[in-house]
Amino acid sequence: MPRKQTTKTPPRRPDSDRAHSSTVEDYLERILELINTKGYARVVDIAESLQISQASVTNMVQKLDAEGLLNYERYRGMILTTAGQTLALNITRRHQLLTDFLGLLGLEDNVIYRDVEGMEHHISAPTVRAIEALTEQLKRQPALLERVRTAAQQ
């Protein structure tokens, strides 16, 4: 084995370059959803919904409070700050877009849910726009979609 001979491969973008972790995005998304459906987000509900212990939720909620994404009052409740709402709406939008998009391709709901829950954290603004535009166009091409669904079947 010869030594050295440096390779150049495209640089990675460490997770830390993103403003917030996937975990934080998932919490905010769920908190917004709870607030929208039942009017408030309780620790116990978030825990149940994310399948995580209450203790872990309390931890994270305190952290989100410290980061200014929500205002939390011990034992009482929480509300999203403007920053938190913005992020929550943003991730929700990406979630919805990907769900719609994969739905057009004829995938099963549980597959869609699983994949979207991961992918949603990794599509940047330009990609969101591109997929939005694509989805728009695809809706007008039922024949093409039918071919895709059939081909993807087996």
Residues forming contacts to Mn ion in the complex (CB under 5 A) are: 26, 29, 95, 117, 120
x/- map, 55-84, DNA, by CB under 7 A: xx-xxxxxx--------x-xxx--------
Q: Taking CB within 5 to 8 Å according to partner kind, which of DNA, Mn ion, its own copies, none is near residue 58?
A: DNA
Cα separations in angstroms, 67 against 8, 9, 19, 80, 118: 37, 35, 11, 11, 23
Contact 72, 65 (CB under 8 A): yes
For the four alpha carbons of 103, 125, 21 and 27, in that order, the dihedral sign comes to negative
Q: Taking CB within 5 to 8 Å according to partner kind, which of its own copies, DNA, Mn ion, none is near residue 66?
A: none
Residue with tokens 């909620």: 61
Positions in 17-56 near DNA (CB under 7 A): 21-24, 42-45, 51-56
Instruction: Output 91 or 102, the one with its CB closest to DNA.
Output: 91
**Nearby residues of 45 by Cβ (< 8 Å), 6 or more positions away:** 34, 38
Residue with tokens 């495209």: 10
Q: How far is the CB of 71 from Mn ion (least distance, A)?
A: 23
Q: Taking CB within 5 to 8 Å according to partner kind, which of DNA, its own copies, Mn ion, none is near residue 148?
A: its own copies
CB atoms within 10 A of CB 116: 20
Interface residue list for DNA (CB under 7 A): 1-4, 21-24, 42-45, 51-56, 58-63, 72, 74-76
